[in-house]
Amino acid sequence: MNAKWDRREFLKTASAATLGALAAGAPVSGLLTSCKSDKNQQILESEVVKNKIANSKADTVILLWMAGGMAHTDTFDPKRYTPFEKGMDSNRVLSTFKSVPTVLDGISFSEGLESIGQVMDKGTVIRSYVAADLGFILHSRHQYHWHTCYEPPQSVAAPHLGAWIAKELGPKNPVIPAFIDIGQRLTLGEGEELKAFHTSGFLGNEFGPFMIPDPTSGLDSVKPPVGMSYKRFEKRNQLYNDLISKSAFGEFGSNYQKESLKRAMEQSYMLLNSPEAKAFDLSTEPRESYQIYNTGKFGLGCLLARRLTEKGARFISVTTEYVPFLGWDTHENGHTRARDMKKEIDGPVAQLIKDLDKTGHLDRTLVILASEFSRDMMLEGRPGAEVKHQVDQPTVINDIKNYGMHRHFTDGCSLLLFGGGIKKGHVYGKTADERPCKTIEKPIKIDQIHQTIYHALGIAEDAHAIVEERPFYTTPDGLGKPVMELFA
- Segment 280-317, tens digit of pLDDT: 999 999 999 999 999 999 999 999 999 999 999 999 99
Average of per-residue pLDDT values in the chain: 87
pTM: 0.86
More confident residue, 269 or 182: 182
CA–CA dist 153, 142 (Å, integer): 11
Tell me the pLDDT tens digit for each residue of 396-417.
999 999 999 999 999 999 999 9
Q: Which CATH class is domain 7-220+280-486?
A: alpha beta
Confidence at 51, pLDDT banded by 50, 70, 90? confident
Most confident segment among 10-14, 278-282, 479-483: 479-483
Tell me the pLDDT tens digit for each residue of 189-239.
889 999 999 999 999 888 999 999 999 988 777 666 566 565 665 665 666
Tell me the pLDDT tens digit for each residue of 230-284.
566 566 566 656 665 666 655 555 555 555 555 555 665 666 677 788 899 999 9
Residue 54 scores a pLDDT above 60: yes
More confident residue, 18 or 160: 160
* pLDDT score, position 143: 97
Query: pLDDT exceeding 70 applies to what percent of the chain?
Result: 80
Residue 41 scores a pLDDT above 90: no
* pLDDT score, position 52: 79
CA–CA dist 484, 488 (Å, integer): 9
Tell me the pLDDT tens digit for each residue of 123-158.
999 999 999 999 999 999 999 999 999 999 999 999
- Which residues have a Cβ under 8 Å from the Cβ of 434 and sit 6 or more positions away? 79, 94
* pLDDT score, position 44: 59
* pLDDT score, position 252: 56
CA neighbours closer than 13 Å in the CB half-sphere of residue 36:
9
Cα torsion 394, 399, 401, 402 to 10°: value is 20
Tell me the pLDDT tens digit for each residue of 361-395.
999 999 999 999 999 999 999 999 999 999 999 99
Average pLDDT for 457-486: 95
Query: pLDDT exceeding 90 applies to what percent of the chain?
Result: 73
* pLDDT score, position 257: 58
For 419: left if phi > 0, alpha if psi spans -120 to 50, otherwise beta; the answer is left
Domain boundaries, the chain: 7-220+280-486
Average pLDDT for 48-73: 92
- Of the candidates 471, 450, 445, 446, the one whose C-alpha atom is nearest the C-alpha of residue 460 is 450
Q: What is the 3-state secondary structure (H, E, C) of the chain?
A: CCCCCCHHHHHHHHHHHHHHHHHCCCCEECCCCCCCCCCHHHHHHCHHHHHHHHCCCCCEEEEEECCCCCCHHHCCCCCCECCCCCCEEHHHCCECCCEEECCCCCCEEECCCHHHHCCHHHEEEEEEECCCCCCCCCHHHHHHHHHHCCCCCCCCCCCCHHHHHHHHHCCCCCCCCCEEEECCCCCCCCHHHHHCCCCCHHHCHHHCCEEECCHHHHHHHHCCCCCCCHHHHHHHHHHHHHHHHCCHHHHHCCHHHHHHHHHHHHHHHHHHCCHHHHHHCHHHCCHHHHHHHCCCHHHHHHHHHHHHHHCCCCEEEEECCCCCCCCCCCCCCHHHHHHHHHHHHHHHHHHHHHHHHHCCCHHHEEEEEECCCEEECCCCECCCCCCCCCCCCCCEECCHHHCCCCEEECCCEEEEEECCCECCCEEECEECCCCCCCEEECCECHHHHHHHHHHHHCCCCCCEEEECCEEEECCHHHCCCCCHHHEC
